[in-house]
Amino acid sequence: MEPFRKDRLYSDLLEASAKPGCPICRVSLAFVRSYLDNTMYERVNDGEVRAELRNARGYCNTHAWMLSEGRGVVLGTAIIQRDVLNTVLEALNVEPPGRGTRHHVQELLRRLRPTAECPACVNRRVMEDIAIGTFLKYLDDPELAAALDSSDGLCLPHFSRALELVEEPGHLHRLLDFQRRALTKLRNELAELIRKHDYRFTSEGLGKESDSWLRALGIVSAERGAR
Ligand SMILES: [Zn+2]
Ligand SMILES: [Zn+2]
């Protein structure tokens, strides 16, 4: 990894760790957004990109709708979707094989089936691994460690991926320590939220635990749109 990217990622992670939710989700969402923007602005006429999207039958649900939230995406989206619809129409244009409806349907389904994965998902996975690698590498950096101290931890999908990628025993130890602390804190906030839902304690009013249920959704199932 070239130094620029490493430094840039480190500061992205540092910033993300000081905000609510999984820092890898946050960084990865920003990567995917800029990947989609870049595709729309610079790569819509790239034959390879267009072929990938035709083969994938467009973006997956998450990335299709994320794309729609970008600026200046009308023309690019129209070009890509027209391409995909042309492919779908071509797939439908098959003569009935003359062996009954079931065979016809099976042939249609075969021709409609994507032969490639959503390219934004492929890109997201690559960038996630780079971000997790940087995260592990800088786990003992004092500034990052301080930011992580008040964070909610990694979401379960990214924590599992970090466990798959971690190599050094010191890094594993710090990862487990950090995650255990973060999850314990969040679990305790949930317990406090549940306690205050008891009619005997509702007068106490809610504190920082008030949105713990939402943060827990992100930590257990990854942040919205990040997976
Ligand atoms: Zn995550
Ligand atoms: Zn996708």
Total domains present in the chain: 1
* Buried-state track 151-185, b at ≥16 Cβ within 10 A, e below 16: bbbbbebbbebbeeebeeeebeebbeebbeebbee
Distance 29 CA to ligand 1 centre (A): 9
Q: Check residue 1 and give its pLDDT.
A: 44
Cα 9 to Cα 19: distance, rounded to the nearest angstrom:
15
Find the ligand nearest to 155 CA. Answer: 1
Find the ligand nearest to 153 CA. Answer: 1
3-state helix, strand, coil in the chain (%, to 5): 75, 0, 25
Q: Residue 94 falls within a domain, yes or no?
A: yes
Ion ligand 2 nearby residues (CB, 5 A): 60, 63, 118, 120-121
What is the extent of the structural domain holding 166? 3-221
Given a cut of 60, whether residue 2 has pLDDT beyond it is no
Per-residue pLDDT of 120-161, as tens digits, reads 999 999 999 999 999 999 988 999 989 888 888 999 999 999
Counts of helices then strands in the chain (DSSP H, E): 11, 0
Per-residue pLDDT of 23-76, as tens digits, reads 999 999 999 999 999 999 999 999 999 999 999 999 999 999 999 998 889 999
Distance 223 CA to ligand 1 centre (A): 6
Distance 14 CA to ligand 1 centre (A): 15
Given a cut of 80, whether residue 98 has pLDDT beyond it is no
Find the ligand nearest to 66 CA. Answer: 2
Q: Check residue 5 and give its pLDDT.
A: 52
Q: Residue 227 falls within a domain, yes or no?
A: no
Distance 135 CA to ligand 1 centre (A): 12
pLDDT-derived band at 109 (thresholds 50, 70, 90) equals very high
